[in-house]
Amino acid sequence: METIDSIRAMHAWSERARAAGRRIGFVPTMGYLHTGHVSLVTEARRRRADLVVASIFVNPLQFGHNEDLDRYPRDLERDTRLLVEADTDVLYMPQASEMYPEGFQTAVTVEHVTRGLCGEKRPGHFRGVTTVVAKLFNAVRPHLAVFGEKDYQQLVAIRRMVRDLDFDIEVVGGPIVRESDGLAMSSRNAYLSPPERQAALCLSRALAASETAVREGERGGAAVLDRAYAVLNAEPRARIDYVALADPESLRPVDRIAGPTLLALAVWIGQTRLIDNTLLGRGAAWGEG
């Protein structure tokens, strides 16, 4: 695996790969990698990428003032090993000073789909995400980019940006990878103490409770949300940030399950904010919940 740390060198690599007719897959990350990230590299290969670039960049622009930018976990040695094992061709690690030099003043803002859910709770977050992803796209110039459904709103915002700004890139979503007990994998799980790690199971359990309600025929949004609230409220270490039902494409709020519906939640466990989601009302007889 080659490591590239300047925009100019990334451009040169990409130009060579394209001239050779190779299809470039791209997986952007903030590092401290886990099996969820690795699954996105595998997905890029499955989608016929000849070469896969993964980036690690802890993007200051997407963190609020009181958020965890300074303590975001890092382990480059382990990340490198995981990427090599996953057969990644290039690790792209741009420097913050080159990404945001003095005088930087341009941003990409996706309007409607970034307003609700996490957008309401983390002002400026998605503006930081779409801006950095646009810059990474311009540096890597991939044919295909893979994002996790774990950050569902992010995936929707990036799809919108790619369409609206005519990026010639196929955006692919990868399913949420979970620990064996149901906790969605996240770099931020590293912050959790053992009792908090146990308490964090309330997120996936809350989703499962709502899924069960839908599978049993419940269609009322409030009733479906109540099932999730009941699980979360029973966990003393949990503080709910939001629990919401939304249309999976527009992300507009919905109050009935009349077809595929996103159930998304954000919950504080101690000082750690965790997110999770599921798609309700899938399948012919909605048998999958």
CA angle 117, 122, 125 (to 5 degrees): 105
Does residue 210 bind ligand AMP (CB under 6 A)? no
Give the nearest distance from C-beta 185 to ligand AMP in angstroms.
4
According to DSSP H, which parts of 57-171 are helical? 76-85, 96-99, 117-121, 125-140, 152-164
Residue 106 one-letter amino acid: T
Q: Are 92 and 8 in contact (CB under 8 A)?
A: no
Q: Which stretch binds ligand AMP (CB under 6 A): 107-115, 185-193, 233-241, 270-278?
A: 185-193
Q: Indicate whether 86 belongs to the interface with ligand AMP (CB under 6 A).
A: no
Considering only 25, 36, 94, 116, the residue that binds ligand AMP (CB under 6 A) is 36
Q: Does 184 bind ligand AMP (CB under 6 A)?
A: yes
Beta-carbon contacts of 97 under 8 Å, excluding residues fewer than 6 positions away, are none
Nearer to ligand AMP, 34 or 141 (CB): 34
In this structure, what token pair is assigned to residue 147?
Answer: 């994002």
Of residues 254-273, those binding ligand AMP (CB under 6 A): none
Which residue's C-beta sits nearest to ligand AMP? Answer: 148
Number of residues that bind ligand AMP (CB under 6 A): 17
What is the rounded CA–CA span in Å between residue 35 and residue 41? 10
Q: Which stretch binds ligand AMP (CB under 6 A): 31-39, 70-78, 210-218, 231-239?
A: 31-39
Question: Interface with ligand AMP includes 187 (CB under 6 A)?
Answer: yes
Q: Does 204 bind ligand AMP (CB under 6 A)?
A: no
**Alpha helical stretches, state H, 111-218:** 117-121, 125-140, 152-164, 194-199, 201-215
Q: Contact with ligand AMP (CB under 6 A): which of 40, 51, 244, 246?
A: 40
Among 176, 203, 213, 245, binds ligand AMP (CB under 6 A): 176
- Cβ–Cβ < 8 Å for 132, 124: no
Cβ atoms of 174 and 43 closer than 8 Å: yes
For 175, which DSSP code? P
Pick one of 10, 37, 141, 160: the residue that binds ligand AMP (CB under 6 A): 37
The catalytic site residues sit at 37
133 to 152: interface string for ligand AMP, x by CB under 6 A = --------------xx-xx-
Closest CA to 230 of 247, 250, 249, 207: 207
- Residue span binding ligand AMP (CB under 6 A) among the ranges 35-43, 68-76, 225-233, 277-285: 35-43
Rounded-to-integer distance, Cα 287 and Cα 258, Å? 14
Decide whether 89 or 149 has the Cβ nearer to ligand AMP: 149
The single residue among 185, 203, 225, 232 that binds ligand AMP, judged by CB under 6 A, is: 185
**145 neighbors 27 (Cβ within 8 angstroms):** yes
Nearest by Cα to 54 from 71, 39, 72 = 39
Asked whether position 177 contacts ligand AMP by CB under 6 A, the answer is yes
**Positions that interact with ligand AMP (CB under 6 A):** 29-30, 36-37, 39-40, 147-148, 150-151, 174, 176-177, 184-187
